[in-house]
Chains A and B, each alone.
Chain A
Amino acid sequence: MSSPSITHLLPPTPVQPAASARLLTPTTQPIPLLPSHLAKRYSYFHTLLVVIYYYFRASALVADPYTAMFLDLGFVSLAQGVFCAVCLPSAGSWVSGTAGGKINESTGAVAPLKTFKGAKTGGNLSGSGSSSLRKKIAPPSAVKGGSTKGEGAGGSWKGRVTPALFSLILTLTLPPLPLTLIALVLGAPLYPTSLLPCTLLLATHVALLGFLPIFYTHGVSSSAWRDVAAAWLPFDESGVWAGTVGALVGGWIGAVPMALDWDREWQKWPCTVLWGVVLGWAVGRLVTNVARLGIGRRINLSEKEEEPGAGTEVLAAGPVKTLSETKKSK
């Protein structure tokens, strides 16, 4: 029998997408700290405050995780809300990103205030910056006024409390369930089912620490949240994104002591994970907000543009090389 033709060899199920995947570009800008001394000092103080609070609640958490975590929601919401209102620009009051085109990483990294100025002077960013999904960029006068008055750069206090409340509602409704699911897959106990509420509360704590400031600063911009879902936000001087990453990584690492056979009370679910979340959050904030390291950089997962023709169409290696060479030569 002659060798079968290629059409015979088509796999029974569609195997790979018809064309190779395309690398996207992140569109978010680093979240600036409001340019007032109060904002800067309060952002330091806030990290300390939250860590100290959890520290003093540690024994209550071990004694009765459910009640303790439930009661703590109030304080953490308040603390994070105040932090947002005092230190961060609310969604729409700053240029949070570009809808398309590449962000020049170096200018984004230098100082977020430039972003404000960029918006004021109508630089290349603002030109393409407004999308239908995003609130309009704040008028330049508000920014200018903010930087001179003691009120801070974020607009009037009333103009900050409302978005803070609004983002608090979003934070308490949207992320906890997906985060619970993520925690369950990562190892949160499914049985006994009586522990599920604890996991939900843990997820709510993570949401408050990690996602409330993102809601406050980015709103519900789909392109911003696409970047969040790809872990692609740039690290920022206000410590928001580093806090989020730190909380997630910290919670992940926080699960390690639970498996050890020390038989301590605090090894039970979810004590060490919550402490891991808080510590990771604090470390992330210290590194970016206090030590100002890595600001403007994004997490590099060594994503690369795929070589075209790497999909199923190309039959031999020869043409691939030429294709990738032409790509490089462009």
Chain B
Amino acid sequence: MPIRYGKAAIGLAHLLLVLSLVIFAKGFFPHKAFLPGLATWPQGLDIVPRSAPFDRVIFMVVDALRSDFVYGNASSFAFTQGLIRSGAALPFTGHASAPTITMPRVKAITTGSVPSFVDLVLNFAESDTTSTLKDQDSWLAQLRAKGGKLVMYGDDTWLRLFPDFFDRADGTTSFFVSDFTEVDNNVTRHIPFELAQDDWSAMTMHFLGLDHIGHKTGPRGPNMPGKQAEMDGIVRQIYTAMENSHHLQSCLLVLLGDHGMNEGGNHGASSPGEVSTALTFISPKLKSAFEGQTSPIDSTVDYKYYDVVQQSDIVPTLAALLGFPVPQNNLGIIIPRLLELWTVQQDQYDLLFENAEQIYRISQATFPSNFAAQMVDQGCSATTQDDAEIIVCLWRQVLEDYEAGHGAYSSSSMAHLRSFLSKAQTLLSGTASNYDLRSMQVGIGLGVLALTLCLPSFTQGLRAGGFEGVALVSIMALYAITMFASSYVEEEHQFWYWALGAYLIILYFKGGRYAISPESAVTGSTQPALAYMLFGLVRRWRQTGQKYAGDPDILSEVVTPNPSLLWVLVVLTYALLSTNLSRRAVTWTGARQMGLLPALVSTSAFLFKIAFTAADAPELLQAFPIFGPLVSFVSRYPLVNLARVVFLGLAHLLACAVYYEKPWKSARQLQSFLTAFQDVLSIFLITQSRTVYIPLYLFFNLQLYLLRRGRRYSVGELGILALLFQYASFFAMGGTNSIATIDLSNAYNGVSGYNVVAVGILTFVSNWAAPIWWAFAVCQLFSVVDLSNGGYSFLLTALATFSCVHALAVMVACTFLREHLFIWTVFSPKYLYTAAWVVGQHTIINTMGLGMLLWQGDR
């Protein structure tokens, strides 16, 4: 039976596609060598570790502290700038590499490694135990091995990364970015107590408020100067304590940002603002060793102030300053300026040599074969070889110097040491060199196989499709081409808006060729025309993409100044769904009371949304005082419970719909079930969407209504509509191909604690809410005939074929453009998004969800 064969092929194709994405990712994303265990001082040799200048450290991380927030002339860090002028503070610009989000950055500044994109995925599945640094070498682990106590206050990312590391800790969750003060007060209140204690050797603080202000109001927001002054006050408090307390005499304060922020206040990618962080070493002891530097600095290029160092350099520098072995997986180099603290040049050489030995070991682990072969080989020209050979060669020079001088300092050996270190750092952190092309080719090959599996039934459908077949193939071909242009990857929404707009115009033309009924002369072009106009509203609701993110849109120009408009639309959306469902529920049993159930569920969903908005975006509610009593009412209940009530109610409604509509009985009943199902699904998806996007569901519902009112659409037309609406609506709800816009605010609804599966599912649903909505919405447009004779399967085939084309195009683009400047900033995030599209949207929603739902009508 051809339909059954086609479905099996689609299922198999998706399986292959997921496999191909995994295999390709294995070859594409850099493989990092990893050395287990803690570094120790070399055994046997009786090297007495040099006396370390410091014995304890206060590690003060201010989330999203961009370099200019401290060093620029608009900064409110007045006290810190005074310290820079006096020499007590040594300022640097710390370069954070992409992905510029907290967890990978914390990894970099504690272990010295350069986290890969795999860490990015783990960041969103935070509880994953494999992502902890418990068994990895870090300066925290080294301090603990020395017998020091650690304390930690602030972002609980640290507590998750370093479980059971801290003797005293108080974690803060970065949950609602509307919280500017509580998150920081929760840290600040512990400072006086801890400054009075002398039992710790490292105190880590992670302030989140500044990042929250950035996300909410951008780097120039009204609360920014006040927050900077608050942070400066904490620096003053600590510095004063360091001057006055005996036990803090040899204490070092490191003030740093984990990443920066762009002009929109977001981070994740690698624009200059996002990668340039402030990094300042502060101690009264430094005043005697260093001269002061100018501060503030008026103008600079790309947020680069003073010396630019890598964030990973912090790790070996701390190792030197506090006197412990350099952590095993470190790729940092001791910051040269701080090396000047050691006045004996032999000490400087020894420190750097230990740093170099450690980096040599990690490079040996990265390129094992090269090192085995090359160490015996003589003759060295550092220009023409591959990466591994260059490192080996430079290392040999270092060793020769070392052996010749018996480890004594000389200027030439120092120069060799430095060139080895900098070359090794660039090559090992730069990841362009070690693609596993074979895995990538296998991945592409499997993708091609998946596509060929889809092709027979797809081409069969195309022949019947006529114009729609041509349109589908053109969309696929054009999309595949745009994947090779970095601007079109960044601005992918343009493609979908462009295609969907044109297709709605074509539907308008087509509608004009029909009379809506055999008797009437009125053409069926009105509904597509209105749907087209609504699409104009939808696409301008939120300006998306990367280049023009933050530009004016309807939300910023019309809705934000009039929050009452937003709330009217939100209430209308809930009311529409509620009345639809109530009317339906009455028909289920014939009893009017049944209509109460959906009303109750929608009300609870609405109350949850109010409670959530009060926590997430209070400014929307403040301007609309009518909801004041509601807000104070719902604030008495925890959000987790409210969300669970909503989810339970929705599950109950869905069960009722399935029980009474009996969708498996006939295609007619399936069609009727689909409308009820859509409304229940809508309430669920709205719960998972941000408040400002809720009116879009109203527009979507209107568009669907208009499309249903029009003539009957062929399966080809529905295939195109499903494809275009799914992708376009993803971007309309603020989605992009940049990591910075992944919305986590609704990922914890109804989840307490860390449940990876639940959080993962909710994260996907809240980011792909609109595509999921449209996937099921388009099913309502099928006629009973198409539902009962299997004609709908072309929709599944078309979508499956597109997912193959999508994945293949991105994989091929990543392979061909692997030396491209933007490979890590544009194409890698796109690859991750592609994986989410293919696995989440196409495999789970389109193939499994739709396939199972519609299959019931087959009998």
Listed in ascending order, the chain A residues whose CB lies under 8 Å from chain B are: 3-4, 6, 8-24, 26, 181-182, 184-187, 190-192, 226, 229-232, 252, 255-256, 259-261, 299-304, 306-307, 310-312, 314-317, 320
Using Cβ atoms and an 8 Å threshold, which residues of chain B touch A21? 514-517, 524, 710-712
9 contacts between A and B (CB under 8 A): A20-B517, A185-B501, A185-B539, A190-B540, A226-B512, A302-B465, A312-B784, A315-B668, A316-B788
Asked whether B498 lies within 8 Å of A187 as measured between CB atoms, the reply is yes
Q: Does B660 contact A (CB under 8 A)?
A: yes
List of A residues within 8 angstroms of B710 by Cβ: 21
Q: Which residues of A contact B491 (CB under 8 A)?
A: 259
> Within 8 Å CB of A182, what residues of B?
505, 532
A16 pairs with B709, CB closer than 8 A: yes
- Most chain B CB within a 10 A radius of its CB, from A16, A17, A192: A17
B522 → A minimal CB distance (Å) = 10
Chain B, 467-518, CB within 8 A of any chain A CB: 467-468, 485-488, 490-491, 494, 497-498, 501-502, 505-506, 508-518
Q: How far is the CB of A187 from chain B (nearest CB, A)?
A: 6
Minimum Cβ distance to chain B for residue A17 (Å): 5
Does the CB pair A261–B517 fall under 8 Å?
Answer: no
The answer to whether A4 touches B467 (Cβ under 8 A) is no
Whether A302 and B711, one on each chain, are in contact in the complex, defined by CB atoms closer than 8 angstroms, is no
From B514, B532, B539, B675, A303 is in contact (CB under 8 Å) with: B514
Given A230-B512, A302-B465, A3 contacting B789 (CB threshold 8 A): no
Asked if residues A184 and B536 are in contact (CB atoms below 8 Å), the reply is yes
Among listed B292-300, B379-387, B546-554, B795-803, interface-contacting one: B546-554
Least Cβ–Cβ distance between A313 and chain B, in angstroms:
9
Closest chain A residue, CB of each to CB of B467:
A302
Residue B666 lies at the interface, judged by CB distance under 8 Å to chain A: yes
Chain B, 251-268, contact with A by CB distance < 8 Å: what is the 0/1 string?
A: 000000000000000000
The answer to whether the Cβ of B439 comes within 8 Å of any Cβ in the partner chain is no
B785 with A314: CB separation less than 8 A: yes
Q: Which 4 pairs between the two chains have the least Cβ-Cβ distance?
A: A302-B466, A230-B512, A185-B536, A21-B711
Q: B residues 671-710 with Cβ under 8 Å of A?
A: 672, 675, 705, 708-710
B552-A192 in contact (CB<8A) = yes
Q: Is the interface of A mostly helix, strand, loop or mixed?
A: loop
B135 in contact (CB, < 8 A): no
B616 sits at the interface (CB 8 A): no
Query: What is the bound-complex CA distance between A20 and B524, given in angstroms?
Result: 11
Known: A15-B708, A230-B523, A312-B784. A186 touches B487 (CB 8 A): no
**Chain B residues whose C-beta falls within 8 Å of the C-beta of A184 in the assembled complex:** 536
| Partner of B712 from A4, A231, A310 at Cβ < 8 Å | A310
The listed residue (A12, A17, A307, A312) touching B517 by CB distance below 8 A is A17
- Contacting pair B587 A10 (CB below 8 A): yes
B552 and A191 contact, CB distance less than 8 A: yes
> Is there a chain A Cβ closer than 8 Å to B158's Cβ?
no
CA distance A230 to B583 in the complex (A): 37
| Contact, CB under 8 Å: A260 / B485 | yes
Asked if A9 and B513 make an inter-chain contact with CB atoms under 8 angstroms apart, the answer reads no
In the bound complex, what is the Cα–Cα distance between A320 and B516 (angstroms)? 20
Residues of B near A261 (CB, < 8 A) are: 486-487, 490, 547
Is B711 a contact of A306 with CB atoms below 8 Å? yes
> Across the two chains, which residue of chain A brings its CB closest to B501?
A186
- Chain B: minimal CB distance from A255 (Å): 7
User: What's the minimum C-beta distance from A223 to chain B, rounded to whole angstroms?
Assistant: 10
Q: In the complex, what residue of chain B is closest to A12 when comparing beta carbons?
A: B583
Given contacts A8-B587, A24-B515, A310-B783, contact A16 B712 (CB under 8 A): yes
**Which size bracket describes the interface of B in this complex?**
35 or more
- The answer for the CA separation of A185 and B505 in the assembled complex, in Å, is 10
Name A300's contact: one of B466, B497, B580, B662 (CB within 8 Å): B466
Chain B residues in the interface with A (C-beta under 8 A): 465-468, 485-488, 490-491, 494, 497-498, 501-502, 505-506, 508-519, 523-525, 532-533, 535-536, 539-540, 547, 551-554, 557, 579-580, 583-584, 587-588, 590, 660-662, 665-669, 672, 675, 705, 708-712, 714, 783-785, 788-789
Looking at chain B's contact residues, the main secondary structure is: helix
A-B CB contacts (within 8 Å), total count: 164
Cβ of A290 to closest chain B Cβ, rounded Å:
26
Q: How long is the Cα–Cα vector from A303 to B514 in the complex, in angstroms?
A: 9
Residues of B within 8 A of A185 (CB): 501, 532-533, 535-536, 539
Given A300-B466, A302-B468, A316-B788, A16:B708 Cβ within 8 A: yes
For residue B504, which residue of chain A has the nearest CB? A185
| B525 partner residues in chain A, CB cutoff 8 A | 229-230
Residue of A nearest to B669 (CB): A9
A187 and B494 in contact, given A9-B669, A22-B518 (Cβ under 8 angstroms): yes
- Taking CB atoms, residues of chain B closer than 8 Å to A181 are 533, 536
Tell which of A6, A229, A260, A301 has the most Cβ of chain B within 10 Å.
A301
Q: Is the CB of B712 within 8 A of A9?
A: no
Taking a contact as CB atoms under 8 Å apart, the answer to whether B784 and A314 are in contact is: yes
For B708, the closest partner residue in chain A by CB is A15
Give chain B residues whose Cβ lies under 8 Å from the Cβ of A226. 512, 523
Give the residues in chain B near A232, CB-CB below 8 Å: 509, 512-513
Q: Is the CB of A230 within 8 A of B784?
A: no
Q: Are A306 and B502 in contact (CB under 8 A)?
A: no
> A303 touching B669 by the CB < 8 A rule?
no
How near does chain B come to A276, taking the closest CB pair, in angstroms? 12
Bound state CA distance, A299 and B553, in angstroms?
36
Known contacts: A185-B535, A186-B502, A259-B488. The answer to whether A306 contacts B509 by CB under 8 A is no
* Interchain nearest-CB distance for B513 vs A (Å): 5
Q: Find chain A residues with CB under 8 A from B508 CB.
A: 229
Q: Chain A contacts of B587 at CB under 8 A?
A: 4, 8-10, 12
Contacts of A9 in B (CB 8 A): 587, 661, 668-669, 672
Return chain A residues, CB-CB under 8 Å to B523.
Answer: 24, 226, 229-230
Which of A4, A23, A186, A320 is within 8 Å of B498, CB to CB?
A186
- In the complex, the chain A residue whose C-beta lies closest to that of B517 is A19
**Within the complex, what minimum Cβ distance (angstroms) separates B260 from chain A?**
22
Complex Cα spacing A6 to B662, Å: 12
Query: Which of A18, A21, A232, A299 gathers most chain B CB within 10 Å?
Result: A21
Instruction: Indicate if the CB atoms of A303 and B540 lie closer than 8 Å.
Output: no
The minimal Cβ–Cβ distance linking B831 to chain A, given in whole angstroms, is 20
B505 with A13: CB separation less than 8 A: no
Residues of chain B with a CB closer than 8 A to A315's CB: 666, 668, 784
B residues less than 8 Å from A260 (CB atoms): 485, 487-488
**Nearest chain A residue, comparing its CB with the CB of B581:** A12
CB neighbours of B517 from chain A (8 A):
17-22
Known contacts A187-B494, A259-B488, A259-B491; A230 and B513 CB within 8 A of each other: yes
A13 touches B580 (CB 8 A): yes
- The residue that B501 contacts in the complex, of A20, A187, A230, with Cβ under 8 A, is A187
**Is there contact, CB below 8 Å, between B551 and A191?**
yes
Interface residue from B497, B532, B590, B705 paired with A187 (Cβ < 8 Å): B497
Complexed CA–CA distance, A261 and B546 (Å): 11
Question: Which of A9, A192, A316, A320 is most buried by chain B, counting CB atoms within 10 A of its CB?
Answer: A9
Whether the pair A4, B494 counts as a contact (CB closer than 8 A) is: no
Q: In the docked arrangement, what's the CA distance between A226 and B789, Å?
A: 35
B791, closest chain A residue (CB): A317
Are B666 and A229 closer than 8 Å at their CB atoms? no
Known contacts A226-B523, A307-B785; is-contact A300 B467 (Cβ 8 Å):
yes
For residue A306, which residue of chain B has the nearest CB?
A: B712
Chain B residues whose C-beta falls within 8 Å of the C-beta of A10 in the assembled complex: 587
Give A221 Cβ to nearest chain B Cβ, in Å: 15
Query: Quick check: A19 and B553 within 8 Å, CB to CB?
Result: no
**Which residues of chain B come closer than 8 Å to A320, judged between CB atoms?**
785
In the assembled complex, which residues on chain B have CB atoms less than 8 Å from the CB atom of A16? 708-709, 712
Query: Given A19-B518, A191-B552, are A3 and B662 neighbors across the interface (CB < 8 Å)?
Result: yes
Q: Find chain A residues with CB under 8 A from B487 CB.
A: 259-261
A301 touches B783 (CB 8 A): no
Given contacts A11-B675, A255-B498, A306-B711, 7 further A-B contacts (CB under 8 A): A20-B711, A181-B536, A191-B557, A260-B487, A300-B467, A302-B468, A312-B784
